[in-house]
Amino acid sequence: MSDVKIGIIGGGAVGLLFGAYLSSYHETSIFTKTKKQAIALNNLGITLIRDKKKHKYAVNGRGDYENIALQDFIVVAVKQYDLHSIEKVLKMIPKHIPLLFIQNGMGHIQLLDALPHTSIYVGTVEHGVVRIEQGTIEHTGIGKTNIAIFRGGHGDFSDFPTIQNQYFPFQFQSNYKNMLYSKLIANAVINPLTAVFNVPNGRLIENPFYYEAFLALFNEIIELFPEMNKKELLDEVELICKKTRLNTSSMLKDLKEARKTEIDAILGYILENGNKNGHALPFTNLLYTVIKGKELEGGIKV
């Protein structure tokens, strides 16, 4: 799919990362929460810092959803807890326009089921990225974006925009549930522990005491997912810690900046799943409670 108009809902770090790289190949519009950010993006574009070098990308900033129906493909890049605030917008997008959702956790699956669209993709993002200003991001870790079909032709990725960039690769997966479960488990282990211990990702496997907690949490959570390969997944989560060893997890960053975390979409979902299946998850529940307490201390209404 080439020469398409791409709309990205959400001007956070991940939305801007997608906007920067996709804009080199397609006309790209970012639909932002504020008109101020839309104006800044229109005037200055996106500045992406990678390996201490600045790269500029021209995009259209949109402070409203007036042109949403004119897009050929839409990436939904808001955090999971903000999806409810754009539900009406999503439902007014013509159903022939393919949608890609790149949220953490699994809480959005119910919303996707209720949408009328013919073609829906889900993705998991393994890049490290930090938003510095309204239109400036730093690409702190080169990873990949995994993509799977949630609804549409089996194995048919023809609706997906073409892009060939070594710094922003896509990998297509056959099973969306296993793909989302892998990311969910990685997030469920890394995010809360780094947030509680106030350390970068790598310290979880470098500090033997933190690693003990890492294994305890992983072993408790993995019991809920008997279809997943335990050894492969443990290796994968450890590898993420190694690759992003100096990175601050999104949950720790949110707490430091007194923002709401995605704890409900991650550990909240796992606890709900555990309750349904009769699994006691004491360590998971303790971490969930601690993070909610930290949100409250930071002035977040919980």
- List of domains in the chain: 5-174 (3.40.50.720), 179-297 (1.10.1040.10)
Q: How confident is the model at residue 106 (pLDDT cuts 50, 70, 90)?
A: confident
Taking the C-alpha atoms of residue 73 and residue 67, their distance in angstroms, rounded to an integer, is 12
Nearest CA to 47 out of 127, 170, 131 is that of 131
Percentage of the chain exceeding pLDDT 90: 85
Q: How confident is the model at residue 1 (pLDDT cuts 50, 70, 90)?
A: low
Taking the C-alpha atoms of residue 12 and residue 1, their distance in angstroms, rounded to an integer, is 25
Q: Global pTM?
A: 0.91
Q: Specify the pLDDT at position 141.
A: 86
For the chain, the straight-line distance linking the first and the last C-alpha, in angstroms and rounded, comes to 43
Which runs of E-coded beta strand occur in the chain? 5-9, 27-31, 46-50, 53-57, 60-62, 73-76, 99-101, 120-125, 128-133, 136-141, 145-151, 170-172
Residues 32-50 have pLDDT tens digits of 999 999 999 999 999 999 9
91 part of the active site: no
Q: How far is CA 18 from CA 8, 90, 100, 212, 251, in A?
A: 8, 19, 11, 36, 20
Paired with 75 in beta bridges are: 8, 100
The encoded tokens of residue 170 equal 């896509």
Which of 183, 243, 276, 292 is an active site residue? Answer: 183
Nearest CA to 249 out of 224, 214, 278, 225 is that of 214
Pairing of strands 136-141, 99-101: unpaired
